[in-house]
Amino acid sequence: MKLYTSNFSPNCRRVEAVLHHLGLHGSVDIRRPNMVAGEHRSDEIRAVNPNMKLPTLVAGDMNLWEANPIMIYLCDRAGAEEFCPTDLKSRFEILRWMSWEVQHYNRELVDILWETVLKGMFGAGAPDQDKVDVALENYCRFAQVLEDRLGARDFVLGDRVTVADFAVGASSGLAMLPGAQVPLDDYPNIKAWYLRLESLPAWAKTAPENMAEAAA
């Protein structure tokens, strides 16, 4: 398999973390086009993903794009029943939380992080505090849903980590940076869960600084 991926991208991190968690990372041909230089807009990547976005996985005759379906594909291919259960109830829960994080939780979180953290990394100008404030208000609405969910369980589905945690927590490393302006102290269950996630070997191996070192 060949994975086109990038450092500092929460969408790429979640896929690389799944590969580490499944013990597959070392067997994948990892390509890191430089997004700042626009290398992801190459003919090579367009041929396998018409959106020219990362992550993109080539597996045999399949070209896979969109991080969450890629993660489920990798789990099912590896038969990772515990990490990505296939019973109807669990699979519904996984898909629901993945859909929710894309549409709501991480959508608002990434809007905050773009202004407070990522713009600086990409040399895209100063943060717009008005945009941060709008995203913050929306983020808090959905953060409360996650906070309540994590009140009675260690991970999104229950007592064990699943692929749903890797999806919902994809931006955890960036959200915990000092200047991120994400009010995690108001959500102690989310903060504790983020820390639990960051302590997992697969998540630690994909921390932004480690990925930068690996790419150097």
Tell me which residues touch ligand GSH (CB under 6 A): 9, 11, 35, 40, 53-55, 66-67
Shortest reach from residue 40's CB to ligand GSH, in Å: 6
Measured from the CB atom, the residue of 11 and 116 that comes closer to ligand GSH is 11
**Residue pair 116/179 in contact by the 8 Å Cβ criterion:** yes
Phi first, then psi: give them for residue 59, nearest 5 degrees: -130, 105
Q: Report the alpha-carbon distance of residue 204 to residue 216 in Å, rounded.
A: 18
Helix (H), strand (E) at residue 207? none
Measured from the CB atom, the residue of 104 and 196 that comes closer to ligand GSH is 104
Shortest reach from residue 55's CB to ligand GSH, in Å: 6
> How does 124-148 read in b/e, with b if 16+ C-beta sit within 10 Å?
eeebeeeebeebbebbeebbeebbe
Residue 151: CB partners within 8 Å, gap ≥ 6?
189
Measured from the CB atom, the residue of 15 and 157 that comes closer to ligand GSH is 15
Measured from the CB atom, the residue of 55 and 85 that comes closer to ligand GSH is 55
Shortest reach from residue 185's CB to ligand GSH, in Å: 27
